[in-house]
């Protein structure tokens, strides 16, 4: 029990302190998420979306906004995986592709995309009579696929699909716990930034959107750090370990 508690405490430390440290240790990683997030905010401001709540709702699905949204989502996912690589052992050579098991990574990525599409279809069918429990059960059942995806980022050939669905459950549970610990307080603040900007003057809106973009970059780092901490059961190797093995 003491060992589990120690791993949880250390994992939270890695998630929050390790994640925020990427702002100065590897600023490119949060910038991968910050830049497209801010670009979308620029488009939103130009569309007049912060003039009022009504204006925001009316233009939320506009083509101009969603053009930037795709880049924002891609940037967020890349930043999360990059943060996971850095804090999971790659260190300052997180960008070096030689420590990635690309064959396994691409296969795991394909499985996660397929699971995501199926999950989206199931979630969309809930209103048509599919019980919520089915959607929840599917989300839980596919959690180990995330661990299967992260393993190749570290060049960990021992993380097979079978292992992901056996001992990987512990890693998935920890990764979920650490990531939720970061996401739950940050997401409402992210949403509140938008609410607070409604009807404000230009200076306030720009200041809030700059801060919001930085917050999203931090969220990406925290989520990636949570993945790394969970994968290694709360005790990831020192940054740079994978680089030394490459």
Query: Can you give the pTM of this predicted structure?
Result: 0.91
Higher pLDDT, 232 or 98: 232
User: How many H helices and E strands in the chain?
Assistant: 12, 0
Residue 129 pLDDT > 70: no
Question: How many domains in the chain?
Answer: 1
Q: Which of 67, 69, 38 is closest to 205 using CA atoms? A: 38
What DSSP line would sit under 130-188, residue for residue?
--HHHHHHHHHHTHHHHHHHHHHHTT-TT--HHHHTTTHHHHHHHHHHHHHHHHHHHHH
Give pLDDT tens digits for 15-40.
999 999 999 999 999 999 999 999 99
Q: Which of 163, 148, 162 is closest to 103 using CA atoms? A: 148
Residue 41 pLDDT > 70: yes
3-state secondary structure 169-183: HHHHHHHHHHHHHHH
pLDDT at 238: 80
Supply the range of the domain harboring residue 30.
Answer: 2-245
Residue 244 pLDDT > 70: no
Residue 63 pLDDT > 80: yes
Percent helix, percent strand, percent coil in the chain, to nearest 5: 80, 0, 20
- pLDDT band per the 50, 70, 90 thresholds, residue 143: very high
Residue 198 pLDDT > 70: yes
């Amino acid at each position: 029990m003491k060992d589990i508690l120690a791993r949880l405490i250390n994992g939270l430390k890695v998630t929050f302190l390790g994640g925020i440290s990427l702002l100065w240790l590897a600023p490119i990683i949060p910038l991968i998420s910050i830049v497209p997030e801010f670009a979308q905010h620029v488009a939103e401001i130009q569309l007049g979306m912060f003039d009022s709540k009504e204006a925001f709702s009316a233009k939320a699905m506009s083509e101009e906004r969603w053009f930037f949204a795709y880049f924002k989502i891609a940037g967020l996912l890349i930043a999360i995986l990059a943060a996971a690589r850095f804090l999971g052992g790659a260190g300052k050579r997180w960008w070096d592709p030689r420590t990635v098991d690309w064959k396994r990574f691409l296969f795991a990525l394909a499985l996660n995309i397929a699971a995501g599409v199926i999950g989206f279809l199931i979630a969309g069918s809930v209103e048509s009579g599919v019980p919520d429990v089915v959607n929840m059960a599917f989300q839980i059942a596919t959690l180990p696929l995330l661990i299967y995806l992260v393993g190749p980022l570290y060049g960990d050939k021992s993380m097979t699909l079978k292992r992901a669905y056996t001992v990987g459950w512990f890693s998935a549970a920890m990764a979920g716990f650490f990531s939720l610990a970061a996401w739950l307080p940050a997401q409402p603040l992210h949403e509140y930034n938008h609410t607070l900007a409604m009807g404000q003057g230009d200076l306030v809106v720009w200041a809030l959107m700059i801060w919001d973009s930085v917050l999203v970059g931090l969220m990406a780092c925290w989520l990636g750090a949570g993945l790394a901490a969970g994968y290694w059961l709360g005790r990831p190797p020192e940054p740079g370990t994978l680089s030394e093995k490459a």
